[in-house]
Structure 1
Amino acid sequence: WAIAWSTSFFGYAMSVRYPSDAWLLFVFGPFVGGALVTAIVEGRPGLAAFFGRMARWRVGLRWYAVAVLLPPALRLAALGLNVLSGAAIAPDARWPGPPDLLAESLVLSALIAVAEEPGFRGFALPRLLEGRSALAASLVLGALHTVWHLPLLVAGEESPVIVPIIVAGAVVITWLFNHAGGSVLVVMLLHASVDLWVGVFDRLFAPADAAAQTAWLAVAYVASALGLVWRAGPELGRRPGG
């Protein structure tokens, strides 16, 4: 974790001082940290398991569907609640066309997902699940993920409302991770979908209503997490001995 956070914080600090897209490579801190510690502690067998989780694609199609469709579904729910509470879609709002999504959002979202999730869910989550309930492991990882976003929060580039989204999202991701047989590939797909739709929905509103949209999104995530805990229990679908 120290490797991941210090590497990424350094990249962020340098990007502020010397703006360049090259500093984006430092978001690979979790990936590098997870792989490096695994190699040192567990050697080749550990690395085989680490990369094996990233390549685990033989899971049910419904879990791929959940990974792709759940993030936009939650944003649509937040949009509906936002509009019902009085927000108005900006007159000049437009949905980005496929070229915009492919050239910018999709590529960037996939890059960030690959950079982060092998460390968070491929390395940290299996270890946090040892001796803890899946819910407890999720809350711990959600707190660590919040610290990961701390530079952006301090700089004012992200709203504090993102904190409950991150923590509740950790519960949702653990639930998916458990049902997808520990597939980090499916989790990366969900993470990419989460990031992909940020630029789509946020641009639909004026700044004040966009802030309300984020708040309603937090409500949607927390409600989803609570619903999963109520339905699946504190183990979030983890099989005995898993």
Structure 2
Amino acid sequence: MREHPLLTYFTLSYGITWLCWLPYILSETGLGLLPIRYPEILGSSQTLGVLPGGYLGPITAAFIVTAVVDGRPGLRRWAKRLVRWRVSPRWYLGVLLAVPVVAVVSTFPLPGALADFRIPGATVLLLYVPMLVMQFLTTGLAEEPGWRDFAQPRLQARYGPLAGSLILGPLWGAWHLPLFFSEWADWPNVDWLMMAEFVGSAIPLSLVMTWVFNRTNESLPVVMLFHASVNTVYSLVWEACFPSLDAFGDSVHTLAIGSGVAAVVLLIATRGRLGYEPIAAREFQNTGAR
């Protein structure tokens, strides 16, 4: 573990999460190989089927590896990023406004999207904030202490921000792959191209999140809010704006388009540095990050 902390982290994240997801994938909400039906809580079987694995994987792996490799000083650094709230309000406002705008605009290139566009109703707008808070406390809190708080600093300390993000992106996206065999992805209405596009879209999205992470002085709450905003927009707002489009397949197309364009703009504007300050890498190089 001390020799290969990153490899250990990814192995634990995948192993713990996929083991927890296995009954859900094999149940009646997935492949139907087990006579199990997960009850719907908060309107979805994913609450019990997906969240436990999501929580136990990345954050548990990050805690274990950090504790073994870096000890208490490393755990303190890890925890400080998790509660680094004191960031300029423009970042919070920017995330909250930019994500839905980009999601909607990047949908217009799809055939029929412009004619299909609708303004979301009052019910959707009223549910937006509660949904955003729930996504922040579930998906954001479950995943980002691992992917961005643990893996990102180590990857960019060793490989640089661009290469580090190109490594993290597909690993983060592929972590979700078992869920495609469940109602999370409207199984069985999925195919391999859709899965490949989802994993591929995680690469430019990871580049954007790297920029947000670095430019906010490694503030995990802002990154978590970004992740929660993406999930909230696509699970609640996007379908209301484009009711005739495919809720999962077309949303993946727009995610790839929007994050792809944003990533290219950021790479050009920052010359590939993505807001990274190399001095911050020294603490990981000095503690044997690999």
One fold, TM greater than 0.5? yes
Change (3 A) 1:210 1:114: closer
1:185-235 CA deviation, whole Å, 9 max, x = no partner?
111111111111112203432244863453133112101101100000121
Relative CO higher for 1 or 2, CA cutoff 8 Å, sep ≥ 6? 1
In the other structure, the counterpart of 1:40 is 68
The correspondence of residues 149-164 of structure 1 with structure 2, limited to 5 A, is 149-153=176-180, 157=185, 159-160=194-195, 161-164=197-200
In the other structure, the counterpart of 2:89 is 61
TM-score (norm 1): 0.88
Partners of 2:71 and 2:219 in 1: CA distance: 21
Partners of 1:125 and 1:173 in 2: CA distance: 10
Partners of 1:163 and 1:189 in 2: CA distance: 21
**Residue type matched to 2:52 in 1?**
L
Q: Which residues of structure 2 form unaligned runs of 5+?
A: 1-9, 28-35, 40-46, 281-290
The RMSD of aligned alpha carbons is 2.5
Q: Note if 1:236 corresponds to 2:264.
A: no
Change (3 A) 1:210 1:30: closer
Most deviating of 102-111 and 67-76 = 102-111
TM-score (norm 2): 0.74
In the other structure, the counterpart of 2:239 is 202
In the other structure, the counterpart of 1:22 is 48
Asked whether the 8 Å contact 2:234–2:251 carries over to 1, the reply is no
Change (3 A) 1:152 1:210: closer
Shift of 1:67: 2.5
Q: Note if 1:6 corresponds to 2:44.
A: no
In the other structure, the counterpart of 2:159 is 132
Asked whether the 8 Å contact 2:136–2:224 carries over to 1, the reply is no
Shift of 1:71: 1.6
Change (3 A) 1:180 1:205: same
Change (3 A) 1:190 1:103: closer
Whichever of the two has the greater Rg, that structure is: 2
